[in-house]
Amino acid sequence: MKDFFYAIQDLFVNVLFKPLDALRALELENWFAASIVSWIFVVICLVAIVYWMLQLKKFNDNNEEDKTVSSHSFL
């Protein structure tokens, strides 16, 4: 049973975390190259937010949203 857990440890440490170890080593040489992954995620999130806001504006302009008060009538 102990070998099973050592195999899981070996899989994660020696196989799945290799790209992260490479990024950590790259950061010491070139910070901009190591940060490119973070910037890619930032750009993807920015594009998704802009698309989402444009879709919300489109539905708001078409008056497709039900704005009737169904609860908390005191508001």
Query: For residue range 6-65, what is the model confidence (pLDDT) as tens digits?
Result: 999 999 999 999 988 988 898 888 888 888 888 999 999 999 999 999 999 998 888 877
pLDDT over 80 (residue 75): no
Domains contained in the chain, number: 1
**Residue ranges in 12-64 assigned as alpha helix (H):** 18-29, 31-34, 36-61
Q: Would residue 67 count as lying in a domain?
A: no
Boundaries of domain holding 14: 2-60
Residue 74 pLDDT exceeds 70: no
* Model confidence, pTM: 0.57
Cα separation, 52 vs 58, in Å, equals: 10
Q: What is the pLDDT of residue 5?
A: 95
Note whether 13 and 21 are within 8 A (CB).
no
In a domain, 69, yes or no: no
* Structural domain contains residue 65: no
Give domain status of residue 15, yes or no. yes
